[in-house]
Amino acid sequence: MGRAPQKRRIETRQRLLDAAGDIVAEAGFAGLRVDEVVARAGVAKGTFFAHFPDKDRLLAELIGARMQAALADIAAGPPPDDVEALADRLAPLYAIMASERAVFDIVVRYSGAALETEPTEITRNFVAQDELLTGWIARLQARGLRRDVPARLLAEGVQAFATQAIALHFCVLHDPVPIDDRIRPYLRAWLTRDVALS
């Protein structure tokens, strides 16, 4: 364990994050250049990589922060009472993930902790999603949801379908359906034992 980080380091890191945030606001995540970030933050290029192992990790940091905010918002409300309400509640989170192709790519890459690296905010977000969903689903299993499968597996499945739906969203073979509408049929089929009856 090294020493605690100096105040200067904290400030530099924040300046880098702020500069990056500004650039994203102007040019999107895909338009972010490391040279531009360090220029705006007023530091040398090497400093950037003393704070972030690579460019993608900075993006993951920014995206993870947005996802955490959205998830906190979602978790703050009451648990949903059926599958449709559940889909409604998750929509804002998925909107972030699908906001840009570059964002989705980063989310997918870091949704599971990469083997070598420290977990990112995105990884933690997915773990938190898992817990929230598992709780919601376990509660709904007392109210008509399928009970033949553990709540945790169902929760993981929800994430699988969300990824699939967003991936299809970036695909031209399929009509430009809103992702929310695309996720819903999956969730109905996955979470209920008999769609015709629900």
Partner DNA sequence: TTTAGAAATTGACCGTGGTCGATTTTACGG
Partner DNA sequence: CCGTAAAATCGACCACGGTCAATTTCTAAA
* Footprint of DNA (CB under 7 A): 2-3, 5-9, 11-12, 32-35, 42-47, 49-51, 53-56
Query: Which is closer to a second copy, CB of 71 or CB of 122?
Result: 122
Residue 71 burial class via C-beta count within 10 angstroms: exposed 0-12, middle 13-18, buried 19 and up:
buried
Q: Which does 159 bind (CB under 5 to 8 A by kind): a second copy, DNA, none?
A: a second copy
What one-letter code names the amino acid at 95?
A
By CB under 8 A, residue 35 contacts a second copy: no
Side-chain-side CA neighbours of residue 82 (13 Å): 5
Residue 161: CB partners within 8 Å, gap ≥ 6? 183, 186, 187, 190
What one-letter code names the amino acid at 77?
G
Kindly state the smallest distance separating residue 116's Cβ from DNA, in Å.
12
Which stretches of the chain bind a second copy, using CB under 8 A? 101, 105, 108-109, 111-115, 119, 123, 127, 146, 148-149, 153-154, 156-157, 159-161, 163-164, 167-168, 170-174, 185-186, 189-190, 193-197
